[in-house]
Amino acid sequence: MAHYVDLHSHFLPGLDDGAESFATCLSMVRALAEMGFSDLCATPHQFAGMFEPPLDQVRLTFDQVSHGIAAVLPEVRLLLGAENYWDDVLAARLRQGEPPCYDGGKAFLFEISPLVMPPRLEEALFDIRVGGRLAVLAHPERYPAVQRDPAVAEGLGRQAALLVDLAALSGTGDRTEIRTARRLVEEGLAHAAASDIHDPEDGPAIASGLAWIEKRLGAEAVKRLLSDNPRRILKGQLP
Ligand SMILES: [Fe+2]
């Protein structure tokens, strides 16, 4: 097993737009394990007005799924996180010092509106770092400001970890996202890559994104983006 770490996925059932049942969840986890992932972070959405599963319900689902997965795929380790939308709920949680982090640690995953860049985002991320936490930006390739100007990614990447979606590297889907994701990886601006799996059918595109990294940049880059850097991020370090 390659022992990759997946920092972004939606396999916990019944919480957001990811898995609908334990059976679907299991086939997603199995697909990721077959690609070489040994450590899977479940990151259900926390998105005000859209997906607001209470955190105690998320924890309960995670515990049940962990139990079920351990029985059939004991080699896979599950960790709990969240994909936090950059909204008032996250702002309040940050103020209280309790954003939903990976595995109760110092790093947390977030996404922003694809329409409008939050004003003074870089400063906010700087303050978060100074406060001892590491923000991890999901799919930077999706945001028009980053698509237009790689310098935006460079600025954000000095304060937060940038986590591209593997499927965006695969060559299928939105052309601008593909071009941007590949550029971020080729220019060393992306710190890590992740599955962002929502459905078992996402498997082939995720595997093909992994294969693209290996073919284009070699096995060392795969190890850096899927294993070494994600492990540093989980410790709260910006790679
Ligand atoms: Fe996601």
Which pTM was predicted?
A: 0.97
Per-residue pLDDT tens for 32-55? Answer: 999 999 999 999 999 999 999 999
Q: How confident is the model at residue 150 (pLDDT cuts 50, 70, 90)?
A: confident
Instruction: Return the HEC string of the chain.
Output: CCCEEECCECCCCCCCCCCCCHHHHHHHHHHHHHHCEEEEEECCEEECCCECCCHHHHHHHHHHHHHHHHHHCCCCEEEECCEEECCHHHHHHHHCCCCCCHHHCCEEEEECCCCCCCCCHHHHHHHHHHCCCEEEEECHHHCHHHHHCHHHHHHHHCCCEEEEEHHHHCCCCCHHHHHHHHHHHHCCCCCEEECCECCHHHHHHHHHHHHHHHHHHCHHHHHHHHHHHHHHHHCCCCC
Question: What is the 196 CA–ligand 1 centroid distance (Å)?
Answer: 5
Query: How many angstroms does the Cα of residue 19 sit away from the middle of ligand 1?
Result: 12
Alpha-carbon separation of residue 144 from 45, 86, 114, 123, 154 (angstroms):
21, 16, 7, 19, 14
Distance 129 CA to ligand 1 centre (A): 22
Domains of the chain, first to last: 4-234 (3.20.20.140)
Nearest to 225 by CA among 57, 236, 212: 212
pLDDT tens profile 168-183 = 999 988 999 999 999 9
- Ligand 1 centre to CA of 15 (Å) is 12
Tens digit of pLDDT for each residue in 82-137?
A: 999 999 999 999 999 999 999 989 999 999 999 999 999 999 999 999 999 999 99
Tell how far the Cα of 218 is from the centroid of ligand 1, in angstroms: 26
The answer to whether residue 153 scores a pLDDT higher than 90 is yes
